[in-house]
Amino acid sequence: MEVLILVGIVLLLLSLRQSVILILFVAASYVHFVWGDGELTYLIEDLWTSVNREVLLAIPMFVLAGNIMTRGSIAERLIAIMRALTQWLPGGLAVCTILSCAVFAALSGSSPVTLLAVGSIMYPALIAQGYPKKFSLGALASAGTLGIVIPPSIPLILYGIVTEKSIVDLFLAGIVPGLLLTVVLTAYSLFHNRRIESQPFEAGQLAQALKNGVFALMTPVILLGGIYSGFFSATEAAAVAVGYAVLVEVFVHRELRARDFYGIAVETSRLLGTLLPIVAIALSINLLLTAERIPQELAVWMTGFVDSQFTFLVLLNIFLLIVGCLVDIGAAILILAPILLPIAQAYGVDPIHFGIIMVVNLEIGYITPPIGLNLIVAMTAFKEDFLLICRSVLPFIGLMLFVLILVTWIPGLSLWLVR
């Protein structure tokens, strides 16, 4: 009964659109009052235990690396390479947009950073070459979400931390779904813009783009190659990303100077100042819930009402899609993953597969009205009407739902590279 009251409180606060910090503080107070004997010292001890983890360092490091690359010219040079490769295709600039988002997503690990970095360059170019405004906005807002699935992904890192699952396995599991999303969005872009005139392929232009962007292009090779080869961990990869980005932008591209890093540090600190307290409180709640076996009890109760894995997965997807429309993906993972994972395991769902299902669902929430984060970022960055942006993403939401169905009911798409 106490568990249902906790879930009800959280859902009520979510429906009232209260801040994540408030929701977590209320939940933490309830949990420690009911199961922790009301001892404040338990909460403080759990907060320290929660943040005393080396893997948490990966989050600020990847955020910092993404901001350095955005302020520098790595994004611009990657886009130049993609443009030279695809301009001969009908609708080639649209394909360039999708591929550029996919590649930069593999560097920054962040959806808003990807949208801003690629969109600031590609949106004016798409409009100038006659691409419909509605398509251009929808493509950028949707492709920007690829940073959520394609590794290194900050939401996958959060899921790995809160559920104590291998982050490397989660990164491997995200590759095929991320590539599948990229292929589906690319195919739609080709079909939708098939009548737009292409430009001839120029080997010289490609050679020049590769020459200028070779260090930028090597970034995902170094990071992902190091992680998957076992040469360094995900946390160490984040540190390598920062070091490599600084070396390239300062000494090779010479786009950044010492004074630029003050603004980068401030921007990174603002984001982390919001994220890390949420992480600490959410993990402290999870420690107590796990110790009291609350998620396991909820799983037993749930199995008494839902009798098949198929029904559970349908209900799970509906629930997560609704949550994704209302709640930030980081907060949703931190609050819900420890509660839902034992229930999913009771129905025979692999924990790594469940993580990908959860992240893809919440990824769609980034472009789902009314408060999808990428919709708000796109409105601010491109200075376009919010309702226009909402209409522009509808075809892309349909495509992403199709991929979600495949990922949900074909576990091999997520687990193929893990096993």
- Residues with Cβ within 8 Å of 327's Cβ and at least 6 positions away in sequence, in order, are 14, 20, 335, 365
What are the C-alpha distances in Å from 59 to residues 157, 180, 279, 365? 8, 25, 11, 21
Please tell me which residue, 380 or 313, carries the higher pLDDT value.
313
Per-residue pLDDT band at 63 (split at 50, 70, 90): confident
Nearest alpha-carbon partner for 185 in 2, 319, 381, 367: 367
What are the C-alpha distances in Å from 247 to residues 215, 232, 240? 10, 19, 10
Distance between CA atoms of 93 and 12, rounded to whole angstroms? 45
Peptide bond into 132 cis (omega under 30): no
- Residues with Cβ within 8 Å of 150's Cβ and at least 6 positions away in sequence, in order, are 102, 105, 106, 174, 175, 178, 179, 182
* Whole-prediction pTM: 0.83
Token pair for 122? 């590609």
pLDDT in the model for residue 16 = 73
Q: How many Cα atoms within 13 Å fall on the side-chain side of residue 337?
A: 32
Per residue in 357-390, pLDDT (tens digit) is: 999 998 898 888 766 778 887 887 788 888 889 8
Q: How many Cα atoms within 13 Å fall on the side-chain side of residue 160?
A: 24
Task: Give residue limits of the domains in the chain.
Answer: 2-415
Average the pLDDT over 104-122 and give the result: 77
Token pair for 52? 């005393």
Crossing angle, helix 92-108 and helix 167-192, to 10 degrees? 170
Per residue in 169-203, pLDDT (tens digit) is: 999 999 999 999 999 999 999 898 888 877 788 88
pLDDT in the model for residue 35 = 66
Nearest alpha-carbon partner for 162 in 35, 313, 290: 290
What are the C-alpha distances in Å from 314 to residues 184, 293, 318, 344, 406? 22, 25, 6, 12, 13
pLDDT in the model for residue 325 = 77
Cα–Cα–Cα angle for 152, 419, 350, nearest 5°?
A: 80
Distance between CA atoms of 211 and 222, rounded to whole angstroms? 18
- Residues with Cβ within 8 Å of 314's Cβ and at least 6 positions away in sequence, in order, are none
Average the pLDDT over 62-75 and give the result: 80
Distance between CA atoms of 343 and 305, rounded to whole angstroms? 12
Average the pLDDT over 102-106 and give the result: 79
How does DSSP classify residue 197? P
